[in-house]
Amino acid sequence: MNEARNAVKKIRVLIAMLGLDQHEVGAIAVTGVLRDAGMEVVYAGRFNLPQAVVKAALEEGVDVIGLSCHSWEYLYYLDELLALLRRHGLDIPVIVGGSVVTPGDAQTLLAKGISAAFGPTATPDEIIATVTELAGAATSA
């Protein structure tokens, strides 16, 4: 599916939150940042379980999945999400970002197989650069 995309195609990113985490400020802010950078954002919003995220990623044909977290729930949902992606043979990079993501968490998450982790100190430029790079790598894969 990804091979069909050409270089001029806009990068498509899914932004979602997991479980009952309701603090949407980061998710909406990042959505704005990515749209300003010329990307297409599919905003899945709040109250998703891993299955819903994978389903949306599949249906929308996104290049990158971005999970916004302002609660610790993601720590427990992530394994299930990554397993579901593998089961569906989906090689979509997953980025986790949010206020509660500490340097220690970032190490753990990267070891689990996510592609990038952003804590509350990440800048918009860092986020745009990482999404662009991961989308490019996924597209050319």
State the residues that interact with another protein by CB under 8 A: 19-25, 28-29, 32-33, 46-47, 49, 71-73, 75-77, 99-100, 102, 104, 119-121, 123-124
What is the closest distance, in whole angstroms, from the C-beta atom of residue 19 to another protein in the complex?
A: 6
- Least spacing, CB of residue 31 vs another protein, in Å: 8
DSSP character at residue 10 = P
DSSP 8-state assignment for residue 11 = P
Residues 6+ apart with CB under 8 A from 60: 12, 14, 42
CA 83 – CA 93 distance, rounded (Å): 13
For another protein, the closer of residues 123 and 140 by Cβ is: 123
User: Would you give the distance in Å from CA 126 to the centre of its chain?
Assistant: 14
Shortest distance, CB of residue 54 to another protein, whole angstroms? 17
| Minimum CB distance to another protein, residue 69 (Å) | 11
Q: Where are the beta strands (DSSP E) in 49-108?
A: 64-68, 94-97
Which of residues 56 and 75 has its CB atom nearest to another protein in the complex?
75
Choose between 50 and 138: whose C-beta lies nearer to another protein.
50
CA angle at 12 for the pair 54 and 32, rounded to the nearest 5°: 105
